[in-house]
């Protein structure tokens, strides 16, 4: 609004002040100068306020959207992550949400400023001269028409660019996560070639965007530069005919700049809008995806779970797969019983264990814990009562203490150290200069495989669940590490329902109940000695390994 007032002050000076007596004119000019200074200060304060609080609002929106999206990600079932690359999900939380937040704080102030300037300038033009008002409206219409021509071109190019950025992020995340595999197979050039191709596609599309942008902005610049001689010719005609004074001409020229200059900001806004609308669609498309694993109404919170597990007529298949992993599958594991699962890859061992904490839901049939269908148990309650030790021990960036305490964040240091001792991890932890304050690195990169596994077992000791699942926890360890892990597993398994997925059959010799799985069915069952006597599938595995 202030920018509209200043040219009117200039008009007043050129129209009136020069007609005043010199001393009075000087006083008026001084007063008007003070007014202009005050208006400039107000303009500065308003711009600073809108810029500061507008950006803060955008940052708050970005924070809230990121929080909401992360919470939404964490509620999803495993199938969601099976179908969506981590890099693409990360790109939505970074690039797309940032574009949305920028637009949401930039757009209102830009549109408001443009509207006030445009309406105000046109009102002044029509007040000065109807013809000038009509010409100005025509000029503005042509500029907007010219700009609107490029909107669909920018939109298409921007959409493609966002998809390419997502692919690039996914490729980067995959390469860095698997850097040890990449380097061990000496496939750096292969990964680089794939990335270079994606990056080249992105570059070509960026060049396309830059081309559209350069044509648009160059055209606007040339159009505005061309207005100067046109305005001069038209205004000269009006001045010669006595329809326009020189003072009004000066005012008109000042307001033309006010009318045209926001066009460039609006052009930038249009491009940002295209970027934000693509991100907006991706953001809300992800939010629309409802987790397939949810709490049922009136879900139960069980206390003192004993740990009996029963599969009853269970059918299960993965999404986008026509083949059942389990078909009419039945199994009962008594409370406190230790059961080993044996079978070739794809037999369904890990899938069976993933169904118990509802990482996936059965297609039909039911799974019972202590005689209660797990779908009727509150998810958080169900999962707190199940401890997992995986083959690939995952540690978070941070200290050893923080990683063990992940099993029970409220635990005291004393309980954490006790858990580490039970997992035979205390001695090697104390051999580090910083002890429990040792930083483990990304995914525990600074520790050996056996050390990571013992920390993950300490984490489960601290959690103290009634049900344990060991998913090939010793298969990738050396003999010394395996000995320690085996001892800690046996200690942890005491008086708990335990399922052990075994790769090395030597680790399950003492387990009284071994199930041999094949094609999602239990083919054999018995102790180590009983199964060897049968001289069937288990014996083949035993001789093989």
All structural domains of the chain, each given as residue ranges with its CATH number in brackets, are 55-288 (1.20.1560.10), 309-544 (3.40.50.300)
Contact 27, 19 (CB under 8 A): no
Burial 51-76 (b: 16+ CB within 10 A, else e): eeebeeebeebbeebbeebeebbeeb
Contact 279, 97 (CB under 8 A): yes
- What is the distance of C-alpha 428 from the center of its chain? 37
Residue tagged 């007032």 (tokens): 5
CB atoms within 10 A of CB 194: 14
- Please name the residues in contact with 14: beta carbons below 8 A apart, sequence gap of 6 or more: 246, 247, 250, 251
pLDDT tens per residue, range 201-250? 888 888 888 888 788 878 877 777 777 677 777 777 777 777 767 777 77
pLDDT tens per residue, range 429-447? 999 999 999 998 877 888 8
Phi then psi dihedrals of residue 303, to 5 deg = -120, 150
CA-to-CA separations, 452 to 358, 369, 417, 434, 470, in angstroms, rounded: 26, 30, 16, 17, 15
How many secondary structure helices (H) and strands (E) does the chain include?
Answer: 19, 10
Q: What pLDDT tens digit does each residue of the chain (545 aa) get?
A: 566 666 666 666 666 655 666 666 677 677 777 877 787 787 778 777 777 877 788 888 888 988 998 889 888 888 888 888 888 888 888 888 888 888 887 888 788 877 887 887 788 778 777 777 787 788 778 877 887 788 778 777 777 877 787 788 878 877 877 776 677 667 788 888 888 888 888 888 888 888 887 888 788 777 777 776 777 777 777 777 777 677 777 777 777 777 777 777 777 777 778 778 888 888 888 898 888 888 888 889 988 899 999 999 999 998 877 788 999 999 999 999 999 999 888 888 889 999 999 999 999 999 999 999 999 999 989 999 999 888 777 888 889 999 999 888 888 999 999 999 988 889 899 999 999 999 988 778 888 888 888 888 888 889 889 999 988 766 555 666 667 777 777 788 888 899 998 877 777 888 889 999 988 899 999 998 988 888 888 888 888 76
Look up residue 416 and give its two tokens: 């954490």
DSSP state of 506: G
């Amino acid at each position: 609004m202030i920018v509209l007032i200043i040219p009117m002050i200039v008009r007043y000076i050129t129209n009136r002040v020069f007609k005043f007596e010199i001393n009075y004119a000087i006083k008026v000019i001084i007063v008007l100068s003070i007014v202009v200074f005050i208006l400039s200060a107000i303009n500065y304060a308003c711009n600073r306020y809108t810029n500061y609080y507008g950006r803060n609002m955008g940052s708050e929106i970005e924070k809230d959207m990121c929080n909401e999206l992360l919470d939404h990600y964490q509620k999803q079932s495993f199938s969601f992550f099976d179908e969506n690359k981590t890099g693409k999900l990360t790109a939505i939380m970074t690039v797309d949400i940032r574009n949305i937040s920028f637009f949401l704080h930039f757009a209102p102030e830009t549109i408001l400023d443009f509207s006030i300037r445009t309406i105000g300038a046109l009102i002044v033009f029509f007040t000065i001269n109807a013809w000038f008002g009509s010409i100005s409206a025509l000029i503005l219409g042509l500029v907007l028409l010219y700009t609107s021509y490029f909107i669909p071109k920018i939109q298409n190019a921007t959409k493609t660019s966002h998809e390419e950025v997502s692919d690039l992020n996914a490729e980067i995340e995959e390469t860095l996560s698997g850097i040890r595999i990449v380097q061990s197979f000496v496939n750096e050039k292969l990964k680089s070639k794939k990335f270079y191709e994606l990056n080249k596609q992105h570059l070509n599309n960026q060049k396309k965007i830059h081309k559209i942008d350069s044509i648009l902005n160059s055209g606007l610049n040339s159009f505005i530069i061309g207005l100067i001689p046109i305005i001069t010719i038209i205004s000269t005609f009006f001045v010669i005919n006595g329809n326009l004074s020189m003072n009004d001409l000066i005012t008109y020229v000042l307001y033309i700049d006010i009318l045209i200059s926001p066009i460039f900001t609006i052009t930038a806004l249009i491009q940002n809008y295209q970027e934000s609308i693509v991100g907006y669609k991706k953001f809300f498309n992800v939010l629309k995806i409802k987790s397939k694993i949810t709490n049922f109404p009136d879900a139960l919170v069980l206390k003192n779970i004993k740990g009996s597990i029963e599969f009853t007529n269970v059918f299960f298949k993965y999404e986008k797969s026509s083949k059942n992993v389990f078909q009419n599958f039945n199994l009962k594991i008594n409370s406190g019983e230790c059961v080993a699962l044996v079978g070739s890859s794809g037999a369904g061992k890990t899938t069976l264990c993933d169904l118990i904490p509802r990482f996936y839901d059965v297609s039909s049939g039911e799974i019972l814990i202590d005689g209660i269908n797990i779908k009727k148990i509150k998810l958080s309650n169900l999962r707190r009562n199940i401890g997992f030790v995986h083959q690939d021990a995952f540690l978070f960036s941070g200290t050893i203490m923080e990683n063990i305490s992940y099993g029970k964040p409220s635990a005291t240091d004393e309980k954490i150290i006790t858990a580490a001792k039970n997992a035979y991890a205390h001695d090697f932890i104390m051999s580090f200069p910083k002890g429990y304050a040792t930083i483990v690195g990304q995914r525990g990169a600074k520790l050996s495989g056996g050390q990571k596994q013992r920390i993950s077992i300490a984490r489960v000791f601290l959690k103290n669940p009634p049900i344990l699942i060991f998913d090939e926890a010793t298969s990738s360890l050396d003999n010394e590490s395996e000995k320690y892990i085996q001892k800690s597993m046996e200690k942890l398994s005491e008086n708990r329902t335990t399922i052990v997925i075994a790769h090395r059959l030597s680790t399950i010799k003492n387990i009284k109940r071994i199930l041999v799985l094949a094609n999602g069915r239990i083919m054999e069952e018995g102790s180590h000695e009983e199964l060897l006597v049968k001289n069937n599938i288990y014996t083949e595995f035993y001789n093989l390994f």
